[in-house]
Amino acid sequence: MIDKKKVAIIGGGPGGLTLARLLLQKGIDVKVYERDFNRDVRSQGATLDLHENSGLKAIKAADLFHEFKRAYRPGAEKGRVVDKMGNILFDEHEKETTEIDFDSPNARPEIDRSDLRNLLLNSLSPDIVVWNSQFVHMTPAGAQWAIEFRNGATVLADIVIGADGGNSKVRPFVTPIQPYYAGITILQGNVGNAKMKAPRINELLQGGKIYVHNAGKYLHISAKGDSSIDFYISIKIDGARANNSGINFSDSTQMRQWFKTAFADWGGIWFELFENTDLPVLIRPQYSIPLDQTWEAKSNLTLLGDAAHIMAPSGEGVNLAMLDALELSECLTNEYFKDTQTAIAAYETVMRERAAQEAATSFEMVEWMHADDAQDRIVEFFKRTTA
């Protein structure tokens, strides 16, 4: 059905790269157009865990399982629930580390985002990803799309896949439905050389994660394989404040003053993060799809990952994107479907239903993670799941 068609994937994140790998395995002519200047220009954020029935399933289908097992970080999934003064309330490190059963539905191996991206990039020949290609616009050109990029290039493609994240520029060509503010804003920072700059927190992490819930604030900290620490602070605030905080988080004086005020009653250990974080600290208002979103399938255009179904963090984002890639690749190369529109419709129907369920779950998580009893609830959660 698409043997002689050119497929353009807009966006070189985990979803887009996974789709490229899977289509190339089946001999499809595919290119990935990525706005980054090169693969090293931007930090890829904290660690993530892949799940057996989604992210790991896609890795196995892409014949990259052995590479993944070499790149994942054993023990990085272990966490500590800590109170605002730095006291440990629950400690997964007390449990002996055992070899992960990758075939178990409970498998959650951790990998740094940068390592996952490199694993996927290394599986593609160098000409597949076209860097410095920021999508600007596209117009119909007969049965094809003429895609314009900020660098002045224009390319023709028979099928376009929008894998360009929550601020997708491809999404409006598929649907006018816009995501809406999910009620929380995340401040994200990174501390390099954590052993020197944040020694107490680095020791507390033990190569894993820290979870702190207090008075509507949620602090999540992750150790990374490059010796840095990633952290984010999640706060429930209204949309106007989220988009206009009045604080310049690129200015060290303003940023530190905000932290000292917002965390005045927290223990001094956390200021190792706030005093030593790289600038700027990123302000990320969180958005979500309407749970009932739908649209009519097109014959030569679709979406995957956050471009299709952005939602508040639930631990499923990358996993969903990679599962989207797997299912889309299977639909587009399945001889059962009479044409590409039928194949895309089948993919999108399942994708939207799954996304709506996960988005509903993400809203539930937002509520309890910022509730007054969140600290007690997460301790009980860990006790149940690790018993």
Per the annotation, binding residues for NADPH are 42
Alpha carbon of residue 301 to chain centroid: 22
Q: Which residues pair with 283 in a beta bridge?
A: 187
* E-assigned strand segments in the chain: 6-10, 29-33, 47-49, 79-82, 88-91, 110-112, 129-130, 135-141, 144-149, 154-157, 159-162, 180-191, 209-214, 217-223, 229-236, 282-288, 301-303
Residues constituting the chain: 387
Binding residues for FAD: 49, 113, 306
For 234, the token pair is 């999640």
Per-residue CA distances from 276 to 216, 235, 256 (Å): 24, 21, 10
Q: Name the phi and psi angles at 254, rounded to 5.
A: -65, -40
Binding residues: 42, 49, 113, 306
Map tokens 């890795």 to a residue.
59
For 336, the token pair is 């059962």
Question: Cβ(8)–Cβ(155) under 8 Å?
Answer: yes
- The closest alpha carbon to 209, from 46, 377, 3, belongs to 46
Question: Cβ(79)–Cβ(223) under 8 Å?
Answer: no
For 26, the token pair is 């089946």
Question: Cβ(162)–Cβ(197) under 8 Å?
Answer: no
Map tokens 């605030």 to a residue.
237
What is the DSSP-derived secondary structure letter of residue 28? -
Question: Cβ(146)–Cβ(154) under 8 Å?
Answer: yes
Alpha carbon of residue 318 to chain centroid: 5
| Count of beta carbons in the 10 Å neighbourhood of residue 9 | 30
Dist. CA 110–CA 75, nearest whole Å? 8
Question: Cβ(16)–Cβ(7) under 8 Å?
Answer: no
